[in-house]
Structure 1
Amino acid sequence: MSNHLKFFIDGQWVDPVTPKALDVIDPSTEEAYTQISTGSAADVDKAVAAAKEAFVSFAFTPKAERLALLKRILEIYNARFEDIAQAVSQEMGAPLAFARDSQAWAGRAHMEATIEALEAYAFSARRGATTILKEPVGVCALITPWNWPLNQIVCKVAPAIAAGCTVVLKPSEIAPISGIVFAEIMEAAGVPKGVFNLVNGTGPEVGQVMAGHLDVDMVSFTGSTRAGIIVAKTAADTVKRVAQELGGKSANIILPDADFETAVALGVDGCFSNSGQSCDAPTRMLVPADRHDEALAIARTAAEKFRVGDPRADETDLGPVVSQVQYDKIQRLIASGIEEGATLVIGGPGRPEGLNRGYYIRPTVFGHVTPDMTIAREEIFGPVLSILSYEDEEDAIRIANDTVYGLAAYVQSQDIDHARRVAARMRAGSVYVNYPDWDTRSSFGGYKQSGNGREYAEWGVHDFLEIKSVVGWGA
């Protein structure tokens, strides 16, 4: 029996206090394929009360018990792996291969990294006559996005449990079904009553209520900078901790000593991955001014290879973007690039040829983009690349850092020492040199308006802990 219209509260599936259904849209067809219930303040109150009661005992469970619990969750996650991939593919339009190899894989990889971090984590340390204790922060409200649903759910839930916290999760109402599958995994793994709770709903009706709730000790939010500001303001009234992973407009500096053809082509791949719906995507490519036209030719060839279409088709590289709202926003920004005088290298407005429905975007590359253009400053969140010129290295670094965001940056060079020197000057939480593999043991989070706090492995565990000094412990 489907749990789509239920919430998971205090160890059981329950009906909403006030029934209110919301269609879940398949972005490849623009049609509803199921419904979820959306919650209210009354549902949040029930979930927070369950988490608060459970915290009293769960906070003091031995580390070994929490490790065993996370390992059981991972075991069930692996058993439900295909269900997760299918859910992600349908709810957000990800091609099935990508849903398996990247989206569902990300949840598994982060669970493994958290388990590894917890095994080595020390929750106390001596400083002379003082003992420093790291204790769980309390009841945590976790608000996650639609673009990497399992990545962000596991990046919050796993370290919170590792720390000894209890949680209330609100997945995105746009892509909520993978979150329901995850709740079923938690139930099957035997998570103690009240430790994990799920309430679906909208940001204003559930997310903001969670953020402002008196009995919530911490909010961890991933989403847009606009929504993050609302969450932070709401949370401020109760002086709770707020961790945020927000927007990005990441620069990708192709240094003159890079393998130019490879660096440009892989930069296109990185920008278009997940249909461009990644907050850390390298969306601003910076190339030497005297090689700008060469870069455009390489980028065009790379973009032509992407096959856009049905997420269920084996040959598809890019599916649709997630919603009508996102589609309309991307179309507006593509139009602004043309209007403001950027060179349209490939792609442009409208759907790809042969696709008459679905939120499909033409893979788009703009050249001769200047730093003041809208497409160089706003987060587009679609398969749209802007290529900018720089005169010298100082100019490249200045342009790269001239943004309100600071989530990620990219540097390409065949001289690793050179790349490291430039990376050190990037004002971003993560800098990727020569397109490395995704590292779930690194830290992840942003500078400036890209947020605060860090996720992944031990960095994530740390953010769910309070620091207590017991002075005289060793006297």
Structure 2
Amino acid sequence: MREYLKFYIGGRWTAPAESRTFDVVNPATEEVAGRVALGSAADVDKAVEAARKAFPSWSASTRQDRLDLLQSILDAYQKRAGDLAAALTEEMGAPASLAGGFQVQLGIGHLTTAIEVLKDFAFEERRGASLIVKEPIGVCGLITPWNWPMNQIAVKVFPALASGCTTVLKPSERSPFTGQVFAEILDAAGVPAGVFNLVQGDGPSVGAPLSAHPGVDMISFTGSTRAGIEIARNAAAGVKRVTQELGGKSPNIVLDDADFAGNVAKGVTSMMGNSGQTCSAPSRMLVPNARMDEAIEAAREAASQATVGDPADDVVLGPVVAADQFDRIQALIQKGIDEGATLVAGGTGRPDGLEKGYYVRPTVFANVTNDMTIAREEIFGPVATILGYDDVDQAVEIANDTEYGLAGFVAGADLDAARAVARRLRAGSVAINDGFDFGAPFGGYKKSGNGREWGEFGFHDYLEIKGILGYAPGEAAP
């Protein structure tokens, strides 16, 4: 059983101010997998103080200094990839193939991308007589979720360090093991004392004092819209920058053209990945009403291929993260049935043969209307909904009829038609035919948040912009 009872503050493993612990439950077994210390406002104070002390020197570091550190982190990260994967499976039930594959590899992808961006990033720019300077914003509080732990830690920590900021990381208490291993990786890589700090804990005890702390210059948060609103309120008194990647209810418009059934199947398969616990998941599939029956058959077949079971086995889906999440998903599945959607696959209860663990049956609803609860609320489980449309204009109207705007998807053989639809979707990231790019921006419109992560766009929120006027006297301004 794992025990992580110290925090990483000022380059040292430090005992917490208070003796409180949290039992981390393995969602596959419902048994305790380990204990972590829970921090308090006093621990946040220590971490912020360490970060503030380190900021003057790290913010003045050279580009090469930062590149050397990131490369050292990459080397250390690759050596610990197996440990990260094992931690992911224990804490949030990711199947071994997913944990050791995409979950861990996302961290490497974001790190190598940050290295390449930093090599040529323009921190200074001459414009006529003025010099435009992009400077590190300061101490950054980073609050990350449990569903894609390494992805969300990576897209915050690496751009912050590359930009010259110092950081205090608070991982979710539901997935703290990866955060702890990550801190060990940075320690082994030689991160300067205070540049990176880790405090474990829950939202009220650590997240709230971190977001309200007068010594923190910005907060980057990924999680629920509800929690994001509270964090913004806590941060408001300090007039600090707040960037947020929040909830989603992303549309997936399947166009009426070649390989229609294959695109429906891909959409269902994508929805089931990570047990549906993805904020940008294509949870609202839109198909032509005239082909609804065909879509139902393709979706039913795809759902039947989504094997569920022990994450140590060769399965597609492990459990969802916790009992309360399981209960919420069950209630929403029942709500879909009660509101009259057609249950195509799955339903309430655990899959056959799985009496223990927070396992959810891969579920598909069809003939869903956009006013139904399952079309409006983020379920955060392996539940796909299929809605019908009469023409592309109606499809776009339905797609945009949501309070969220994190992501969108368009599938179709006619690339020009797919491009035209993608331009009309009100979302921060739109993928055509499963497009993927570490360099593209990721973030949301509307209640899905603000700010952007990934690639060079992930650097901007960690930088202040200064204009030095009269820098080159006698040169004409444009």
How many residue pairs get aligned? The number is: 473
2:208, 2:231 within 8 Å by CA — same for their partners in 1?
A: yes
Give the equivalent residue in structure 2 for 1:444: 442
The reply to whether residue 425 of structure 1 matches residue 417 of structure 2 is no
What does 1:3-82 align with in structure 2 at a 5 Å threshold? 4-82=4-82
1:442, 1:456 within 8 Å by CA — same for their partners in 2?
A: yes
What does 1:323-472 align with in structure 2 at a 5 Å threshold? 323-436=322-435, 438-472=436-470
- 2:349 aligned counterpart, secondary structure: coil
**Once the two structures are superposed, what CA deviation does each residue of 1:191-212 show, in whole Å capped at 9, x if it has no partner?**
0000000000000110011000
Give the equivalent residue in structure 2 for 1:126: 126
Q: Tell me how far 1:401 sits from its aligned partner.
A: 0.2
Give the equivalent residue in structure 2 for 1:227: 227
Q: CA RMSD for the aligned pairs?
A: 0.9
* Cα distance change of structure 1 residues 353 and 205 upon mapping to structure 2, 3 Å threshold: same
The reply to whether residue 168 of structure 1 matches residue 168 of structure 2 is yes
Q: Tell me how far 1:257 sits from its aligned partner.
A: 1.9
**Once the two structures are superposed, what CA deviation does each residue of 1:87-106 show, in whole Å capped at 9, x if it has no partner?**
01110000001101110011
2:2, 2:33 within 8 Å by CA — same for their partners in 1?
A: no
- Give me the whole-angstrom Cα distance separating, in 1, the residues matched to 2:176 and 2:2: 13
The residue type paired with residue 179 of structure 2 is G
- Give me the whole-angstrom Cα distance separating, in 2, the residues matched to 1:227 and 1:342: 30
What does 1:108-123 align with in structure 2 at a 5 Å threshold? 108-123=108-123
Q: Tell me how far 1:441 sits from its aligned partner.
A: 1.1
- 1:86 aligned counterpart, secondary structure: helix
- 1:70 aligned counterpart, secondary structure: helix
- 2:367 aligned counterpart, secondary structure: strand
Q: Tell me how far 1:378 sits from its aligned partner.
A: 0.3
**Once the two structures are superposed, what CA deviation does each residue of 1:360-389 show, in whole Å capped at 9, x if it has no partner?**
000000011010000000000000000000
- Give me the whole-angstrom Cα distance separating, in 2, the residues matched to 1:370 and 1:261: 21
Deviant stretches of 4+, over 2 Å: none
- Give me the whole-angstrom Cα distance separating, in 2, the residues matched to 1:199 and 1:93: 23
The residue type paired with residue 221 of structure 2 is F
- Give me the whole-angstrom Cα distance separating, in 1, the residues matched to 2:2 and 2:187: 14
Give the equivalent residue in structure 1 for 2:85: 85
- 1:359 aligned counterpart, secondary structure: coil
The residue type paired with residue 88 of structure 1 is L
- Give me the whole-angstrom Cα distance separating, in 2, the residues matched to 1:330 and 1:432: 26
- 1:331 aligned counterpart, secondary structure: helix
The residue type paired with residue 41 of structure 2 is A
- Give me the whole-angstrom Cα distance separating, in 1, the residues matched to 2:100 and 2:109: 12
- Give me the whole-angstrom Cα distance separating, in 2, the residues matched to 1:376 and 1:243: 26
- 2:402 aligned counterpart, secondary structure: coil
1:3, 1:180 within 8 Å by CA — same for their partners in 2?
A: no
2:405, 2:426 within 8 Å by CA — same for their partners in 1?
A: yes
- Give me the whole-angstrom Cα distance separating, in 2, the residues matched to 1:353 and 1:93: 18
1:142, 1:170 within 8 Å by CA — same for their partners in 2?
A: yes
The reply to whether residue 204 of structure 1 matches residue 208 of structure 2 is no
The residue type paired with residue 222 of structure 2 is T
- 2:472 aligned counterpart, secondary structure: coil
- Give me the whole-angstrom Cα distance separating, in 2, the residues matched to 1:364 and 1:107: 30
Using the size of structure 2 for normalisation, the TM-score is 0.98
What does 1:290-329 align with in structure 2 at a 5 Å threshold? 290-313=290-313, 315-329=314-328
* Cα distance change of structure 1 residues 39 and 338 upon mapping to structure 2, 3 Å threshold: same
1:3, 1:13 within 8 Å by CA — same for their partners in 2?
A: no
Using the size of structure 1 for normalisation, the TM-score is 0.99
- Give me the whole-angstrom Cα distance separating, in 1, the residues matched to 2:119 and 2:380: 37
Q: Tell me how far 1:258 sits from its aligned partner.
A: 4.2
1:4, 1:36 within 8 Å by CA — same for their partners in 2?
A: yes
Gaps of 5+ in 2: 474-478
* Cα distance change of structure 1 residues 258 and 213 upon mapping to structure 2, 3 Å threshold: farther
- Give me the whole-angstrom Cα distance separating, in 1, the residues matched to 2:181 and 2:2: 10
Q: Tell me how far 1:148 sits from its aligned partner.
A: 0.3
The residue type paired with residue 385 of structure 2 is S
2:2, 2:35 within 8 Å by CA — same for their partners in 1?
A: no
The residue type paired with residue 137 of structure 2 is V
The residue type paired with residue 392 of structure 1 is D
2:2, 2:34 within 8 Å by CA — same for their partners in 1?
A: no
The residue type paired with residue 343 of structure 1 is T
Q: Tell me how far 1:3 sits from its aligned partner.
A: 6.3
**Once the two structures are superposed, what CA deviation does each residue of 1:135-187 show, in whole Å capped at 9, x if it has no partner?**
00000000000000000001000000000000000000001000000000010
1:5, 1:35 within 8 Å by CA — same for their partners in 2?
A: yes
Gaps of 5+ in 1: none
1:258, 1:412 within 8 Å by CA — same for their partners in 2?
A: no
